[in-house]
Amino acid sequence: MGGFAPWGLFPLPVFSLALLFWLWHQTKTAAQAAALGLAFGLGLFGAGIGWIYIALNQFGEMPPALAFLATLLFVSFYALFPAGVGWLQAKLRLPYWLKNALLLPIFWVAAELLRGYLFGGFPWLVLGYSQVPLSPLAGYAPIFGVYGVSLALAMCAGLVLEWRKLRAFLPLLALILVGAGLQKITWTQPLGALTRVSLLQGNVAQDQKFADGQLDLSLNRYQALIEQSTAQLIVLPETALPILRNELPSDYREKVSQYARNNHADVLIGGFEQEAGKIYNTMYSLGISPNQAYRKNHLVPFGEFIPLRSVFGWLITDFLNIPMSDQSSGGTEQALLQLAGQKIALNICFEDGFGEEIIRSLPQATLLLNTSNDAWYGESSAAIQHNQISQMRALETGRMLLRATNTGVTSVIDRDGKMMQQLAEHSVGILTADIQGYVGTTPYIRWGNNGIFALLLILFGLVFALRARKLKT
């Protein structure tokens, strides 16, 4: 966990994965290797996403024992992925160096990819995120995305085991130097003048947000923050106003609209919309530009919609108290928001965990914007981990990425993935910055995850070509 935010000790995942690889070689059976992988996964996901318990128990009002069991099952399910890698690698007989340098990294990244797609995907703690933004391996992000960074990391881990041998030391050195060299490439170019943006952080506690009689707290706090902002674009967090758009008091809407027009600005508001009986998690604009909206497309299972309702519906109705937990997807074919001179690719909360979905709006978009509410996870590491994921999206696309969040991390991320500004977590504040739009195309924008899929297939073929050659000799 030391490589992930908030610690950011990016060499640690290389050595911890190298240790796992070495231990796998010491096992005598596939079952032992699977058990070892399971233990590694339980440690990684237990420490890394144990904050799920806070959302279920503290804010979802699930009984402690049931919330603990649900968290344990969730963690255990994702621990099955490294367990599967351990079992599979034990079944294949290969020379020690070939398994370390290629086969194990291929299997590891293939498991991460599967985790990122299966049942809608949960790409949290993909090892590549641990390298953002300072590691030289982060240079691979604009080409192969986060999974390409994971592959480089896993290959380094395998090569570390034999670093004293020339056949391992030279590729290890090359991976690091090439990654560092790629960081020097400027993939995108500035477009137009700077745009002043204000990102609002209201710090409304999750247990107050939907409570009876507490709506005015959100309305008044965010109105006060809006009226302290003089930027061209003012952005509220996800569901900052926890009310249906058509139920927003007309005088409130008019005050916000008038303030924005008087200041030649646009305000993006997080709330909900209802259409044809369906509920949408929405960001909508008021101000000098024509009114526009974006509806969240990639929803969180159980938190925002109920998968297999006939099987799991009882869990939501009987044990969880999550408001607006049965939402609909806004769909993939949504127009860019054109506000304050920028073409904005907006994504809401969990959506920025999926790089291949973010690039749907590119290269047309000049700016990335994420709005979130990580108050569900209290004072855990969830919010700073989420911010690190956003840093990877900036690196992959060569675009600045702005984050407006309820309790943090509200931040401005440069196109190289580095933090430019941020607000203190769990505080009320306004982050104002002059941001630059960018145009251009990184290789990852062109081919998305198809690039890493192709690379894994090529490397897998190379493994068996080298194995066949070894057998002949």
Q: What would the mean pLDDT of 159-171 be, rounded to a whole number?
A: 86
Q: What is the pLDDT of residue 299?
A: 87
pLDDT number for residue 93: 86
Residue 211 has pLDDT above 90, yes or no: no
Tens of pLDDT, residue by residue over 11-29, are 999 999 999 999 999 999 9
Locate 68 and state its tokens.
């603990």
- Altogether, the residues listed in the chain come to a count of 473
**347/358 Cα distance (integer angstroms):** 8
Q: How far apart are CA 366 and CA 368, in angstroms?
A: 7
Q: For 80-116, write each residue's pLDDT tens digit.
A: 999 999 999 999 888 888 899 999 999 999 999 999 9
Per-position DSSP letters for 361-410, written without gaps between them: GTTT-SEEEEEE-GGGGTTSSHHHHHHHHHHHHHHHHT--EEEEESSS--
Whole-number pLDDT of residue 470? 67
Q: What is the pLDDT of residues 357-390, one digit of tens each?
A: 999 999 999 999 999 999 889 899 999 999 999 9
**Of 7-21, 65-79, 158-172, 300-314, which range is least confident?**
300-314
How crowded is the C-beta side of 273, counted as CA atoms within 13 Å? 18
Average pLDDT score over the chain = 92
CB neighbours of residue 472 within 10 Å? 6
pLDDT band (50, 70, 90) for residue 311: low
Q: Point out the residues that are catalytic.
A: 238, 296, 349
Q: Which helix (H) or strand (E) holds 438?
A: strand 429-439
Exposure b/e, 61-90, CB count within 10 A at least 16 = b: ebeeeebeebbeebbeebbbbbbbbbbbbb
